[in-house]
Structure 1
Amino acid sequence: MKNMTFTTVLLCILFMPFFISSCTDKIDEHYEEPEWLKGSAWEVLEDRGNYSLFLQAVELAGFKPIMEGKSILTVMAPDDTAFSAYLEKHGYSDISEINLDELKKVIGFHLLYYSYNKNKLVNFRPEGDLITDEEMNKNAGLYYKFRTRSSNVPTMEVEASTGKRRMVYHLDRFIPVFSYRFWDTKKLDAASNYTYFYPNSTWKGTGGFNVSNAAVSEYEILADNGYVYIVDQVIEPLETIYTQLESNENYSIFFNLYNENTTYTYDATLSKDFGAALGADSLFIHTHGTSLPAIAVEWYSTKYSDVANNASKAYSVFAPSDVAMNNFFDNYWEKGGYESLDDVDDLAMKYMLNQFIYEDGIAFPDEITSGKVKNMYDMVFNFDPSKVTDKSMCVNGVFYGLNTIDTPILFASVVGPAFRNKDCNYYLYMLDGTGLITAYSSQDTKYVLLVPTNEQIESEDIYLRTYADGSKLQQETEDGLVDVSSSVMRTIVNIHTATGVDGLKTNGTQVLATQTGFNYWYVKDGKITSSAAYNQILEPDNNVEPFSEFTEVKNGNDNWNNGRTYMYSGTALFQAQEGDGLQHKLSVCNDNRYVYYQFAQLLQKAGMVMSSNYIFGLAGASHVIGFIPTNEAISTAIAAGQIPGMDATGAVTSSSQLRQYLLSYFIRDRENALISYPYPGSAMKSSTYVTASGKSLTYTDSGSLLSIMVDGKVANVISDYNFFPFAFDDGCFQLIDTVL
């Protein structure tokens, strides 16, 4: 047994070298560099021999380690001929003459983060490749921007509102890759739309793509650490729209007005990742508040994880030149009482600036001429792109310079006077506070608008006050200054708005329903009042004339594009009806000078007054409509013994009978669909309604007269008050000429 063991061990020792040799061969074979690996991106270009200038620039800019394999990447490489042309174009005799920061910016723009094959650059999918063919073809090519290693050095800027110095971090540039799928999806001609922004380049992307200003001459060269693409030009780094505007003095007015809204937003992630290396505790992003797009920021979204938006979205800015801005001021704001562009209200100017921004991506010339490009207020950008001399592709969108501009659709709408007139700018803040401005620019609705002056709004102790963070409407109260709530502003705006009519009559009478339910304007012979103000004439001691003169306000010699706008005289602001309602008025009336005194006395005698605010049979209804006989008609009927439940002396003989009789003068929304109070031409149509007593009431609107009928007895609404209903929150009444 021992001999066998010894023999076995001896044989193993003798044959061990052969085993080791065999294993070594297999290991070498396994780890042998495959033939398809060509070396790093640096080595691939170095082996080709015609990229020495580009590689020299890469090394000087400090990017050689990542080219050699420290990181995966995609390289857009110009050959020596292309790089020499770039040096000559910019007046350099040698790469060493280029400022190092500028060189980093240029070379970094050729180095994309991550490794992209041709298919991914043609049709990048932010959701990944594990998607269906249908999903793959959705918005194909429109995720066209890719992050590069090009960025500007941080800048130190002074925050105007605080005087503090802020270190602004500039994010890596995204490079646009315009593939044939991009143009196919947009249904645009590739060559003409591409060369519009790149007139010194040629579209050669059929079946592939152009990379910003460069065409690709060779695709998808595989390297150990990514892909290399050969391009025919050095790719010029794109700047932000903000930088383009800043560098062109022809747009200084637009730029300076835009820049007045500058804010510096602290970025915790950037501060943590890069602050220490830059010697700063805090890093900021240069934005322009919440109401204007951040055209100074390289990325659409500053969130690194927001790949889809950063790859697809951009801004188009159609900046009016200084000449265009001055002409607009002369023809618009100066006529509204402003003395200069600097004098124009900040909110009006923010809306003005926003008129010239398209937030849904790059707008190409063919899209503009087809009328597809509209701003958020539905304004079509109507100009001839072929006549635009200043235009540029930017890292965050495109810039067009306009030498002439039309009045923006919002500024030419019925709310135009709030934008134009200096003495109406309080109302602009109300419109803005309600979020209704966009609705008022709609061309689908015709409006009639009353625009109150600042003085009229101040009559309610509402004032516009300016603070470091902007202006806002505030109201004087017993507790001091409080911000005017959006609900209060909406109520004021709605009571000044009507629809469904062409305008206000200057002769005769007219009733217009406002946007505040059951509140109206009453027009008589060129004067106007609100239903709430009109109710004052019910008061026996009233000496106030409820009607005010009104004047139409036009857009120069033209009407506003979606209706008519008026201003009314006086210092009081039109208000919605509030406070004591119809039931209260009837419950507490004991003064025989009121036009409804006799009817109120009948209610009391019938035991129907339950409190100072409720009447038996009417409580619980949101709205009631009463047809109340005049005092004279009731007195005559009592004397004639015509009131059921009451004798000729006015004594009650049956309270229940009298109650049922009086309820026949009311219709409630519990039994009837009441959408309007009655007046000639109102939305309350001629029909049979159910009274509070259960009887049928036939209401007839002839267009000029009103009448009712119960149990065959007809009564006519008297014309003494021009058929204007006395309207309250809980109901209204019309006076009729006889009892039923």
Structure 2
Amino acid sequence: MKKRIFNYSFFLLLVFTVFNCSKKEVDEYYARPDDLEPPIYQQLVAQGNFTNLTALIEKAGYKDILGKAGYWTMMAPNDEAFTAFFQEQGISNVSEIDSVMASKIVKYAIIYNGFRTERLSDFQSNLGWEEDLAFKRRTAYYDGFQNKTINGTPMVVVNSNRNNSEGGDFYIPGDNNNKYITYFVEEFMTNQGLGSYDYNYFYPNESYTGFNVLAAETVTADIVAENGIIHEVDKVSLPLINLDQKLEESPNYSIFRDMLETNLVQYLFDQDATTTYQNFTLNSDDVFVKVYDPALIFSPNNENFIKATDNDGQSDGYTLFVPENNVLQEFIDDVLLKNYPSLDQLPKYVYEDFFNAHMVQNAVWPSKAAGYNNALEEDIRIDIDNEVVEAEVVSNGFFYGTNKVQPSNLFFSVYTSAYLDPAFTLATRLFNDGSGYREIISNIYGRYTIFLPSDEVLTHLGYSYDINRSEWVYTSPQTGNTVTGTFARTRLLRVLYNGIVPTPNDELNDLSGSGIIRSGDFDLPGEYIKWDNNQVYAAGNEVLDNRVNIIGFEDQQNGRTYYIDNILEFSEEAQGLDLQMIALETDSEYFNFYEYLRNSALYEETAGTIDGIELGTPYTFVIPNNAAIQQAVMDGVLPGDELTGTPNFTPSEQEEIDQVEHFIKYHILATRTASADGLVNGLTETLRKTEFGEKTYVNIVSTVGDLSFIDDNNRIADYIPSESNHLADRTLIHLVDNYLLYTE
């Protein structure tokens, strides 16, 4: 058998030939195309008018980065820009710029990712590109760790890179808090309804071109490089300071900053930041994060935006309105310290509210300022054209220096009388604890009168707050019984609500006469209170026979605060007892109606309770006078002598007993309290039900000074003012000149 002989020489020659052919083809396939533009650094050199910039790129150590891979946008100042920059800095040429300054200029000119002009205005959201919603981009520059002396102590400090929300993280390791650069591109400006006014508001000496980078104009846009895009600009931009740094560097606003730093800033040790710093520098120092109070809507040293999405800083920023020292000092003297001896005595929440009143978690464009709200949900009350003395674009938003303090609701309303006075901490605590009362009485676009009891008054009447248990306490002065928590809070809420009165025409500025008015807000009615010869009282005051005296007053921007020596107490007795008291007076016009009620099964005389009526629920009692009751007898509507109209208060026949009960129930209106003030109108259900269990209704017609009730037969019963408006628990008792009749 013949053996096959393998020719190794031929095999090696074949492999060598194939390998060489394949390598050549691969190299050709992956070779850099001849028509590909050079990388950014080489492109800048080739352009010929960026010699100063390329020198700084080398000095900053960025030649290798910009000369190879990556994907960048560079806002590149040309040589003419540097000539002007040298003059501004008082130097002769680029050799006088050190590596630190070179790094600032170069890194702040570099934007992550490459963007042609048409993409700079688009927001890179988590959902994809959102057209014409962006005016900023994150740069390669960040401040990093800084050596500072805080309250006399040297320390290494880094800024928080998140807003310090309650319970959230204020420092995320790995996030360098990179600064943003702002540009003004036509597509964004047009889409947002902005224009040259908005640009020139910040840069009054520059020309708006439709593609400005801060104060610079774009000379040549969209110079393509292998690793990104170059936009040639005519000015050198140093890294912008942020809002925190603006305050630090501006002596005209030092009082604002001192108040902020003293009360709402902490320097907190952070292990992650310390580890990063020690690994990078090989130093052993601890690192402290500058942290703003979580009650503030944003942290002025946070370069990022909300971080709801990674790039949301492209589309929005923060705004801070800061009053100059002189106007702020005047505000401190006249408002904040009216009842406090010094700033260090003010409660912390006052500082939180004051600064939030000057903070907007949006970039407030000058031409659109009226459309923004501050962190307290108030409109901006500073005239952008006449009350702003300085406007500056900063790295994380806009700064406005003002000659006016934002006239916040909290500092110029009747609410302020309690809020900024240590004698009224109990009322203030309740106003602020989610009751909604603060929002009502602090609205400077409405007018209110409030009757304000001091801590001394409330404590004397049994109300207190247990700080250790975080709960309200009420001890009855009459019985000594104590309730805590929700029950005690609800009592005080009702008491204070009795003292809140909408007065759009300052109806209560003169209490020398007498009258009646409804407390509470228009949208959430309270109870009726009365005044008489500079005293005020509610239903409970009548029961206890202790009216409320006015011991002083203060006028605020939205009304008047009366200081009182008692509380506007609500009634805790059944409405029937109030009716009984009125009816048993000599020659009372309520007598006939009450006698029918007293002898019916609806009424329990000792307690004064009426079947179907609950304490704490609004009612209107429409009581026909004696003559109207007699007419009802003569009309056969009520039992008695039809010839003489003499009532039979104790009928024995079931049909007549039912007659009485239906009559009484039809004259008690449920769920609403009506008076002659025009506040309540329309069909209102009664206590009476049909034989099928359906509700019956009476129509209320109320105007200022007049009140009528109309039944389903269009019978009209007009109220008699001199005998009406008697107070009871959430109830008014009116006398009328006719009876009402429901027909099945």
Q: Structures share a fold, TM > 0.5?
A: yes
Quote the residue 1:520 is aligned against. 528
Aligned to 2:537, what secondary structure does the other structure show? strand
Aligned pair partner of 1:173 in 175, 179, 185: 179
Task: Tell me, yes or no, if the aligned pair for 1:626 and 1:734 is still in contact at 8 Å.
Answer: yes
Deviations 1:31-77 (A, max 9, x none): 22102323332333344455454344334434344323353222222
Aligned to 1:401, what secondary structure does the other structure show? strand
Quote the residue 1:692 is aligned against. 688
Aligned pair partner of 1:290 in 291, 295, 300: 295
Cα offset, 1:172, TM superposition = 0.7
Question: Structure 2 CA distance, aligned partners of 1:584 and 1:96?
Answer: 97
Q: Unpaired segments of 5 or more residues in structure 1?
A: 537-541
Quote the residue 2:725 is aligned against. 724
Quote the residue 1:116 is aligned against. 115
**Is the aligned partner of 1:529 residue 2:532?**
no
Question: Structure 2 CA distance, aligned partners of 1:650 and 1:488?
Answer: 39
Task: Tell me, yes or no, if the aligned pair for 1:676 and 1:683 is still in contact at 8 Å.
Answer: no
Cα offset, 1:398, TM superposition = 1.9
Paired positions, count: 689
Question: Structure 1 CA distance, aligned partners of 2:518 and 2:49?
Answer: 79
**Is the aligned partner of 1:325 residue 2:328?**
yes
Aligned pair partner of 1:242 in 217, 234, 244: 244
Cα offset, 1:270, TM superposition = 6.9
Change (3 A) 1:632 1:568: farther
Quote the residue 2:361 is aligned against. 359
1:224-303 alignment to 2 at 5 Å?
224-259=226-261, 260-263=263-266, 277=280, 284=289, 286-302=291-307
Question: Structure 2 CA distance, aligned partners of 1:481 and 1:673?
Answer: 31
1:412-431 alignment to 2 at 5 Å?
412-418=412-418, 423-424=423-424, 427-431=427-431
Aligned to 2:330, what secondary structure does the other structure show? helix
Quote the residue 1:582 is aligned against. 575
Cα offset, 1:377, TM superposition = 1.4
Question: Structure 2 CA distance, aligned partners of 1:609 and 1:438?
Answer: 41
Task: Tell me, yes or no, if the aligned pair for 2:156 and 2:287 is still in contact at 8 Å.
Answer: no
Quote the residue 2:170 is aligned against. none
Quote the residue 2:379 is aligned against. 378
Quote the residue 1:144 is aligned against. 135
Aligned pair partner of 2:145 in 147, 151, 154: 154
Task: Tell me, yes or no, if the aligned pair for 2:76 and 2:231 is still in contact at 8 Å.
Answer: yes
Task: Tell me, yes or no, if the aligned pair for 2:519 and 2:529 is still in contact at 8 Å.
Answer: yes
> Structure 1 vs Structure 2: percent identity of aligned residues?
20
Aligned to 1:726, what secondary structure does the other structure show? strand
CA-based RMSD of the aligned residues comes to 5.3
Question: Structure 1 CA distance, aligned partners of 2:608 and 2:102?
Answer: 82
Task: Tell me, yes or no, if the aligned pair for 1:621 and 1:668 is still in contact at 8 Å.
Answer: no
Task: Tell me, yes or no, if the aligned pair for 1:78 and 1:233 is still in contact at 8 Å.
Answer: yes
Alignment-mate amino acid for residue 104 of structure 1: S
Q: Unpaired segments of 5 or more residues in structure 2?
A: 162-176, 476-480, 691-695
Change (3 A) 1:39 1:682: closer
Deviations 1:172-205 (A, max 9, x none): 1011121122332344442x543443456554x4
Change (3 A) 1:607 1:681: same
Alignment-mate amino acid for residue 582 of structure 1: Q
Question: Structure 1 CA distance, aligned partners of 2:682 and 2:63?
Answer: 87
Change (3 A) 1:60 1:727: farther
Cα offset, 1:546, TM superposition = 1.9
Aligned pair partner of 2:562 in 563, 567, 588: 567
1:165-564 alignment to 2 at 5 Å?
168=159, 171-190=177-196, 193-198=198-203, 201-203=206-208, 205-206=209-210, 209-259=211-261, 260-263=263-266, 277=280, 284=289, 286-302=291-307, 305-308=309-312, 310-333=313-336, 336-364=338-366, 366-367=367-368, 371=370, 375=374, 376-384=377-385, 389-405=389-405, 407-408=407-408, 411-418=411-418, 423-424=423-424, 427-434=427-434, 435=436, 437-440=438-441, 442=443, 445-459=446-460, 475=473, 491=494, 494-499=497-502, 501-502=504-505, 503-504=507-508, 505-515=510-520, 517=525, 519-534=527-542, 536=543, 542=544, 544-549=545-550, 553-555=554-556, 560=557, 562=558, 564=559
**Is the aligned partner of 1:676 residue 2:673?**
yes
Aligned to 1:253, what secondary structure does the other structure show? helix
Cα offset, 1:274, TM superposition = 7.3
Change (3 A) 1:464 1:240: farther
Aligned to 1:548, what secondary structure does the other structure show? strand
Change (3 A) 1:269 1:148: farther
Change (3 A) 1:699 1:229: closer
Question: Structure 2 CA distance, aligned partners of 1:673 and 1:651?
Answer: 26
Task: Tell me, yes or no, if the aligned pair for 1:82 and 1:234 is still in contact at 8 Å.
Answer: yes
Cα offset, 1:105, TM superposition = 3.4
Change (3 A) 1:108 1:429: farther
Question: Structure 2 CA distance, aligned partners of 1:199 and 1:14?
Answer: 77
Aligned to 1:393, what secondary structure does the other structure show? strand
Cα offset, 1:321, TM superposition = 0.9
Task: Tell me, yes or no, if the aligned pair for 2:104 and 2:238 is still in contact at 8 Å.
Answer: no
Cα offset, 1:629, TM superposition = 8.4
Aligned to 1:676, what secondary structure does the other structure show? coil
Change (3 A) 1:271 1:147: farther
Question: Structure 1 CA distance, aligned partners of 2:739 and 2:199?
Answer: 82
1:23-62 alignment to 2 at 5 Å?
23-48=22-47, 50-62=49-61
Task: Tell me, yes or no, if the aligned pair for 1:363 and 1:373 is still in contact at 8 Å.
Answer: no
Deviations 1:97-135 (A, max 9, x none): 666555433332112122222221243443566x6xxx6
Alignment-mate amino acid for residue 522 of structure 1: K
Q: Would you tell me which structure has more strand in proportion to its own residues?
A: 2
TM-score norm. by structure 1 comes to 0.74
Quote the residue 1:539 is aligned against. none
Task: Tell me, yes or no, if the aligned pair for 1:603 and 1:659 is still in contact at 8 Å.
Answer: no
Change (3 A) 1:453 1:128: same
Aligned to 1:257, what secondary structure does the other structure show? helix
Task: Tell me, yes or no, if the aligned pair for 2:305 and 2:396 is still in contact at 8 Å.
Answer: yes
